[in-house]
Every structure is written in structure tokens, then in C-alpha cells.
Amino acid sequence: MTNNIKIFGTLIAVAFILIIGIVLRYTTAADVTATAEITNAAPVVDTIRVATTAYSTDNLTTGGILPNIGNDRTIHVNGQITDLNGESDIASSTISLVFHKTTSGNTCTADKNDCYIITTCDTNYTDGDDTQISYNCEVPLAYWTDATDTSSDYASDTWTSYVVASDLAAAQGTLSATIEINSLLALNLPDTIDYGTRSLGEISSSTTNVLTTITQRGNIKADVELSGTAMTCTGLGAIPATAQTWALTDIGHAGGTALSTTAASAARNIDLRTSESSELSANLYWNIAIPATGVKGTCTGSNTIAVIAQTTAAWQPSDDALLAARIGMHFRSDELTTAGSLSQWNDASGNSRNLASAGGSMPTVIASDINGRSALSFNGTNNYLTSSLPSATYGGNLSKTVYMVSWVDSSIGDNAMVFHYGRRATSQAFGIHVKTTGAQMRIYQWSNDGDFTTSSNVKGRWILHAAKKTDGNFAYYENGTSLGNVNLAPANVDLNTFEFGWRTDNGHPYFKGKVAEFVFVKDASSDTERQKIEGYLAHKYGIQSQLPSGHPYKTSAPTN
């Protein structure tokens, strides 16, 4: 009995010890891993400032940006970016800016007139708290950057700063702000007009006149006013102001305009610069008639060349009543007012020969496609336009001239049709199409074709075309430069159907490309008229730099 008690007590003691051990095991401290996954937050562009110096407060938006005369002006688009995941999550290399004319859009192609793409911006990670950085993007604005203030050609437009910031996970934040660029009226003028040594009674000619060059240094159209005083001579007498004449072309004294003591506009009308490689300038030619007697020594006077804003209205074909009466149809970008599919392109000639969509789908209006103007895009597959042009007046074997501003797509089919007038029969049609290689344009009247080799491949660039038929002679001009002429058998267009972009009765490909303007004149334009229409089109669509040297409208558009 005693032994049993001892054994039972021992068991109780062991059990107690085991219980204590278990308690101790479950109350000892343990290392436990805690986890949580934080989702990525996209960066936020908090502010945009436009300033004269880096990281500065906004001091340009209220008054607008005035470019520097003849040189770049660097502005600073800056502000703050926040990333709630921490400032180190913002990749400084992915901060970029598109500074663009608002209607050009933030996907524009870099161009100093309307689109600046800045891919490298400076950053400051010490500003703000641990979730914020400052950025600064420098924009080197050219002096000819398009103005958008109330006195500019683009008064209805603005400029937009479009800032993009990305984090390490490629999440993006964007912000936009608008501002105006102000008009800068500035020309580089000659310092002197030096007639050199002249003889008594000498009258200068086109080979002895004095050329002075005026260069665009601002961003609005400009003109000059001219006036002068008599030239007083050190030995004897004076040369009156009216003995000097000025002209816009290289001619002699008799053909110029006499200089007056009262300011008079030269109608030099220097346009907006659009080329990044070539300056825009215009010439003035000065002549002088030296009196036969009564003057001696060095004669000195003061001629004033005052810069003024261009006040004369730009000329257009409808301003010439005789020309307007001879235009059978006129389609221009001014009528393409709404982007998207186009069912009808209205005829601006007043003849109501509207082009109507006739293919499987409608061509597309692209806004602000060339020099801020719209263009009509053809898909090369199933869209074209058609109208009626009376053959009795514009067809037959009558002379005719067509003008066109177009862009041919690089993937256009061989011998793709631009336009077709008449029927598919020998010598009963007139039209133009793009030859196989894209290096030629063809004027055709079916069995009689004239092929003209262009300066380079016509594809992928805007071109101003002029094609002229004078009886059986055909001449072709590319951007105002003659490509030659050929003699073809007379045509006899005897069907009123006019198709743009295809013809319904033959297997030639549809036209693929864009057209901004098309003019059909019922007879052969004179060279003077042709050059005037070329000048109108070239300056309207910003391709005047492609006109040849010596073209009368190379540097300024025709005016009324």
C-alpha cells in the first residue's frame, strides 16, 4: 500500500513537470514574418510654370512669350512632380515635354514653327518632401516660331506645354497648360546704300544698280516703307531724293519707283519663315540718276527704311475677275472645316461643281496637316470623288491648266490615278497619274502620254504641281520649276464626267495620298498668271522655300 502511494505520487509529480514543460514551450517568444504588398501609384505632374530662368516661378504666362530678334530664346517649362511611392520611383530620364501649337497636337513632328519635343529635362530631388521632385525643361524657341496673339495669323490658336512623367513601373502622369507666343515684327535692314563712284549724267541700269537684302528676323509678315532726303555733296550742289528709284526686281532706273520724302510702302511683303535651314529674305534694287551738271564731291543723304506690319491683303484667284471667270472648278482646304469622313468637297469657284464621294468609303479630312491647314486623305483602296465638268466649255481639244498641292503616299500603286476627265477612249480623255517609280508624273490623253521626270521621287513630300495644255503641247511644272514640255496629238474630251482619285472604267490603282488644293482653268495660263497662282499656293501652304531662285513670289506672296 505504501509502495502504491509512492508510485502514484511519483506519477503525479512527472505529470506536473510535463504540464509545466508544455506551458513553458508555448509561452516562449518566436520570430514571425509579416508581409504586405504596396500597389504602385502613378506619378502626378502637379504644376507647370513657364519662366525666363530654370526652376523659377511663372512669369511669362500672363504676358505671353516674345521671341528674340533673329536668335533663339530659351524658356523654362518647370514645376513639381509627386509620386506617393517615393521620389526615387520617378525616373528622371522619362520626364519629357512637347511644347506645341495647340492645334498641332501633342503627337506632332518636331518643327520650329509649331512643335518642340524635349526629351531631356533637368530634375531636383532635394525640393519638397520624400515624395516630390522638381523638374525643368529648356525650350530653345526660334525667332520665327508661330505667333498666336491677336495680331498674328494664328490668333485663334494657342501654345500648349504637355509634360509627361513616368515611374520605374512605366506608369505615367501628364499635365497640360497653355500660353501665347507674341508677334515679333523685325527685319534685318541694310546699313548703307552705296552707289560708289558715278559720272556726271550717269543713269544706273540693271547691271549697275545696288542690291540690298532685307531678311526676316521676326515671326509675322512684314513690309517696309521707304522715304529719303536729298544727297548733299561736299564740293557742289545736291542730288534730289527723287533721283533715286527703287524696285522689287533687278531693273534699271527708268523702271523703278522714285524715292519720295514721304514714306511709301514698298509692298515687299516678306512672309513668315517656315524653313529651318534657309532664312527668308527679299531684295530691293536701288538706282540713281546723277545730274549732268552742278554736283561735285561726295554726296550723302538719309534714306529711311521703316519696318511695318504687312497691311496688304494676300491675293487669291477669286480676286482676279478675268481669271475667276475662267476657273471651272476650285477645291481648297478652306472648305474642309470638319475633320473625319467627307461626303462632299464644295467647289469654291462659284460653279457648284462639288466633288461627291463615290467609292466604297469616304476620303478623310485631316485637320492642321499642312501649314496649319486641312488636307483630304485618300486611302488608295476604295474611295474617290466625282463631279461633272461640261466638256463643251472645258473639254474638247481646248487648252487648259490645272494646279494642285498634293502629297503622294510611299506605298501608292503603280500608275495610280490623280484625276480623270472624259471617257476611256483614244484621245477622248485628259488627266494626270503617278508613274510606276514615283519619279515621274504623267499627263495623258490615252494613246498619247507625256511623262515628266521630277526633281526627286514624288512620294512622301508635299509638291505644288502645274500642268498646262496648249493645243497639243503639254508643259509640266514642279514647285515652279519647268520639267519640260512634249507635243501630243490633240485630245477631244467629249464626256462631262470628272473623277478625282480613280476612274471607274479601267484597272489603274486608286490614288493614295493627300490633296490640299486643286484648281482647273479652262485655258492655258500665261507664265505671269501661272507664277502668281504658284505664289498663292506656295505661301498659303508654307512650301515657298521650294520655289526656284528668281521666281517672282519666292519670298513674298502675291498681294492685291
Q: What is the pLDDT of residues 158-174, one digit of tens each?
A: 999 999 999 988 899 99
Instruction: Report how far Cα 137 is from the mean position of its chain's Cα atoms.
Output: 24
pLDDT of residue 503: 74
Q: What is the pLDDT of residues 282-337, one digit of tens each?
A: 889 999 999 999 999 999 999 999 999 886 667 899 989 999 999 999 999 988 98
Give the span between the Cα atoms of 348 and 513, in whole angstroms: 22
Q: Which helix (H) or strand (E) holds 22?
A: helix 2-26
> Class for domain 44-179, per CATH?
mainly beta
* Alpha helices per DSSP H over 335-428: 391-394
> CA 5, 9, 11 angle in degrees (round to 5)?
120
For residue 109, the SS3 value is coil
Percent of the chain residues past pLDDT 90, beyond the cut = 57
Q: Which helix (H) or strand (E) holds 527?
A: helix 527-540
Give the span between the Cα atoms of 473 and 202, in whole angstroms: 46
Q: What is the pLDDT of residues 175-209, one digit of tens each?
A: 999 999 999 999 999 999 999 999 999 999 999 99
pLDDT of residue 53: 97
Q: Structural domain boundaries of the chain?
A: 44-179, 187-309, 317-546
pLDDT of residue 504: 64
Work out the average pLDDT over 454-469: 86
pLDDT of residue 373: 83
Of the listed ranges 269-283, 334-348, 444-458, the least confidently predicted one is 444-458
pLDDT of residue 24: 47
Of the listed ranges 132-141, 415-424, 434-443, the least confidently predicted one is 434-443
pLDDT of residue 122: 94
Q: What is the dihedral of CA 19, 20, 23, 28, to 10 degrees?
A: -150
For residue 81, the SS3 value is strand
pLDDT of residue 347: 95
Q: Show the cell assigned to 114.
A: 509649331
Statement: residue 417 has pLDDT above 60: yes
Statement: residue 489 has pLDDT above 90: no
pLDDT of residue 129: 92
Q: Which helix (H) or strand (E) holds 245?
A: strand 244-247
DSSP state of 552: T
* Domain covering 317-546 in this structure, CATH number: 2.60.120.200
The residue count for the chain: 560
Distances (CA, A) of 308 to 11, 186, 457: 119, 9, 40
Work out the average pLDDT over 28-41: 81
Work out the average pLDDT over 416-437: 77
pLDDT of residue 192: 95
Look-up: residue for cell 508643259? 475
Percent of the chain residues past pLDDT 70, beyond the cut = 92
> Class for domain 187-309, per CATH?
mainly beta
pLDDT of residue 6: 54
Report the chain's terminal Cα–Cα distance, integer Å. Answer: 140
Of the listed ranges 29-43, 151-165, 188-202, 349-363, the least confidently predicted one is 29-43
Give the number of other Cβ atoms within 10 Å of residue 320's Cβ.
Answer: 17
Q: What is the pLDDT of residues 497-556, one digit of tens each?
A: 899 988 766 667 888 999 999 999 999 999 999 999 999 999 888 888 789 988 998 878
> Which residues are paired to 306 by β-bridges?
225
- Please say whether the beta carbons of 406 and 462 come within 8 A: yes
Q: Show the cell assigned to 456.
A: 526627286
Give the span between the Cα atoms of 172 and 268, in whole angstroms: 50
317-546 has the same fold as 187-309: no
Work out the average pLDDT over 57-72: 96
DSSP state of 355: E
Statement: residue 7 has pLDDT above 60: no
Range ranked top by mean pLDDT from 26-35, 387-396, 408-417, 429-438: 387-396
Give the span between the Cα atoms of 288 and 382, in whole angstroms: 63
Residue type, 136: N
pLDDT of residue 425: 67
330 vs 360: which has the higher pLDDT: 330
pLDDT of residue 311: 67
359 vs 127: which has the higher pLDDT: 127
- Please say whether the beta carbons of 374 and 336 come within 8 A: yes
Q: Show the cell assigned to 180.
A: 501665347
Statement: residue 4 has pLDDT above 70: no
pLDDT of residue 412: 81
Work out the average pLDDT over 437-465: 77
- Please say whether the beta carbons of 316 and 536 come within 8 A: yes
pLDDT of residue 426: 63
* pTM greater than 0.85 (yes/no): no
DSSP state of 248: S
Range ranked top by mean pLDDT from 8-12, 246-250, 328-332, 538-542: 328-332
25 vs 233: which has the higher pLDDT: 233
Work out the average pLDDT over 259-279: 85
Give the span between the Cα atoms of 230 and 141, in whole angstroms: 42
